[in-house]
């Protein structure tokens, strides 16, 4: 099956999302978000997310089928995020996928949310036949991966030792009472700010850190530095804080991702996950990759944040690679390493 027709379901956090792909072609991508219900709490409330998924699951599947003009019986396989994420939220998607696979008698592919963030790149760019470095930056994870085969050979070079990059954006936005999720808000705010106004710390980037933990990240010191600055500067300029904070995150993410390319001799970098939608990260990545002669691939911003197309994309890739489907009746798991892309 060279061009498998796959429906992908994503419910790991607050988006109920369904995507349909044929091979590497995107046919539908429908997202129902419960973010507005969480905003007043300043973060995602798991029980609220699970209930919202239950309500949105069926209409979202129906809309994706309608948008693509596909009938359920046309599908070759069902793919679903089986972890990591909020277990109650994941279970809604996994149960729906198990039910669909059973009723339609189609194979089921339980996939890793993190690997699928990287896989979505295949819907908009040519697949490189060579290994690539992936900078995976989302609300729950920040890692540098060496990807030889996205369906089976992924090595973790480093990850955050505390907050994820997206989490740092969300927490800093909360410190400034800017709303949730903070990433897109700070990104917009930073556009009119001076990125050199405040010299915020770059975590784990001192020479001794670059020796011992070259590919690990730390953002909690940065968050504390922003908090102290806000407390000691009553008339702070919001846009300057946003721009200077964003610059510190972008600088350290790219310093380490490019070092991973250089040290491993891999001249290809994919940036994926919600934070990959950040306009400054995309801009600086282009500049630095061009000067380091590294081929850069970033999915379009709308495919960087959680969606079902990325799940379908990894399912499709698994089929093309001849990977066996998961066992029917698979469950969900809240923690899962990005080095394990598929569930058995």
Number of separate helices (H) and strands (E) present in the chain: 12, 10
Compare residues 43 and 221 and give the one whose CB is closer to ligand KG4. Answer: 43
Q: Which residues pair with 8 in a beta bridge?
A: 19, 79
Query: Can you give the binding site for ligand KG4, defined by CB under 6 A?
Result: 13, 138-140, 166-167, 169-170, 181-184, 187, 273-275, 277-278, 305-306
Angle at 156 between CA 11 and CA 264, to 5 degrees: 135
CA–CA distance, 16 with 10 (Å, rounded to integer): 6
Compare residues 95 and 278 and give the one whose CB is closer to ligand KG4. Answer: 278
Partner whose binding site includes residue 184, from ligand KG4, Zn ion, none (CB under 5 to 8 Å by kind): ligand KG4
Compare residues 138 and 142 and give the one whose CB is closer to Zn ion. Answer: 138
* Closest distance to Zn ion from the beta carbon of 12 (Å): 7
What strands, in cross-sheet order, belong to the sheet with 142-149?
A: 153-159, 142-149, 132-137, 268-272, 295-297
238-264 vs 220-232: helix crossing angle, rounded to 10:
160
Compare residues 12 and 95 and give the one whose CB is closer to ligand KG4. Answer: 12
Partner whose binding site includes residue 19, from ligand KG4, Zn ion, none (CB under 5 to 8 Å by kind): none
Contact 143, 338 (CB under 8 A): yes
- Token duo for residue 144: 């540098």
Compare residues 84 and 203 and give the one whose CB is closer to Zn ion. Answer: 84
Where residue 273 falls (left for φ over 0; alpha for ψ -120 to 50; beta otherwise) is left
| Bond before 84 cis per omega within 30 degrees | yes
Partner whose binding site includes residue 163, from ligand KG4, Zn ion, none (CB under 5 to 8 Å by kind): none
Partner whose binding site includes residue 183, from Zn ion, ligand KG4, none (CB under 5 to 8 Å by kind): ligand KG4
Partner whose binding site includes residue 50, from ligand KG4, Zn ion, none (CB under 5 to 8 Å by kind): none
* Closest distance to Zn ion from the beta carbon of 199 (Å): 31
- Token duo for residue 61: 């599947």
* Closest distance to ligand KG4 from the beta carbon of 127 (Å): 21
Site for Zn ion in 281-340 (CB under 5 A): 306
Count CB neighbours of 26 within 10 A: 18
* Closest distance to ligand KG4 from the beta carbon of 191 (Å): 11
Angle at 133 between CA 127 and CA 139, to 5 degrees: 100
* Closest distance to Zn ion from the beta carbon of 197 (Å): 31
Partner whose binding site includes residue 107, from Zn ion, ligand KG4, none (CB under 5 to 8 Å by kind): none
Partner whose binding site includes residue 219, from Zn ion, ligand KG4, none (CB under 5 to 8 Å by kind): none
Count CB neighbours of 41 within 10 A: 10
Asked if 138 touches Zn ion (CB under 5 A), the answer is: yes
* Closest distance to ligand KG4 from the beta carbon of 149 (Å): 22
* Closest distance to ligand KG4 from the beta carbon of 282 (Å): 9
* Closest distance to ligand KG4 from the beta carbon of 275 (Å): 4
Compare residues 187 and 240 and give the one whose CB is closer to ligand KG4. Answer: 187
Angle at 336 between CA 338 and CA 224, to 5 degrees: 80
**Phi, psi angle pair for 150, to nearest 5°:** -65, -15
Pick the closest to residue 81 from 306, 299, 339 (CA basis): 306
**Phi, psi angle pair for 171, to nearest 5°:** -70, -40
Contact 308, 321 (CB under 8 A): no
Partner whose binding site includes residue 68, from Zn ion, ligand KG4, none (CB under 5 to 8 Å by kind): none
* Closest distance to Zn ion from the beta carbon of 73 (Å): 30
Contact 43, 180 (CB under 8 A): yes
Compare residues 89 and 289 and give the one whose CB is closer to ligand KG4. Answer: 89
Partner whose binding site includes residue 26, from ligand KG4, Zn ion, none (CB under 5 to 8 Å by kind): none
Q: Which residues bind Zn ion (CB under 5 A)?
A: 138, 306
């Amino acid at each position: 099956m060279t061009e498998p027709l796959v429906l992908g379901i994503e419910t790991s956090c607050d988006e109920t999302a369904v995507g349909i792909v044929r091979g590497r072609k995107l046919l539908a991508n429908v997202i129902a978000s419960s973010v507005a219900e969480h905003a007043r709490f300043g973060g995602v409330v798991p029980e609220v997310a699970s209930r919202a998924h239950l309500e949105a699951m069926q209409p979202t599947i129906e809309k994706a089928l309608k948008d693509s003009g596909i009938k359920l019986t046309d599908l070759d396989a069902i793919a679903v995020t089986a972890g990591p994420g909020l277990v109650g939220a994941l279970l809604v998607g996994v149960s729906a996928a198990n039910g669909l696979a059973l009723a339609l008698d189609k194979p089921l592919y339980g996939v890793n949310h993190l690997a699928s963030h990287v896989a979505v790149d295949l819907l908009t760019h040519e697949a490189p036949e060579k290994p690539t470095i992936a900078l995976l930056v989302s609300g729950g994870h920040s890692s540098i991966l060496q990807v030889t085969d996205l369906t089976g050979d992924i090595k973790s070079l480093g990850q955050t030792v505390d907050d994820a990059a997206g989490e740092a954006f969300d927490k800093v936005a909360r410190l400034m009472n800017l709303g949730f999720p903070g990433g897109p808000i700070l990104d917009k705010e930073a556009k009119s700010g001076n990125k050199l106004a405040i010299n915020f710390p770059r975590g784990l980037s001192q020479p001794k850190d670059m020796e011992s933990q070259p590919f690990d990240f730390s953002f909690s010191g940065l968050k504390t530095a922003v908090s102290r600055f806000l407390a000691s500067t009553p008339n702070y300029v919001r846009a300057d804080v946003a721009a200077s904070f964003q610059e510190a995150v972008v600088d350290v993410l790219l310093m380490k991702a490019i070092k991973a390319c250089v040290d491993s001799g891999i001249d290809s970098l994919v940036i994926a996950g919600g934070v990959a939608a950040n306009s400054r990260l995309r801009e600086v990545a282009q500049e630095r990759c061009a000067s380091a002669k590294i081929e850069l691939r970033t999915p379009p911003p709308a495919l960087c944040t959680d969606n079902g197309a990325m799940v379908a994309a990894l399912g499709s890739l698994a089929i093309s690679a001849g990977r066996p489907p998961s066992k029917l009746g698979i469950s969900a798991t809240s923690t899962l390493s990005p080095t394990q892309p598929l569930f058995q």
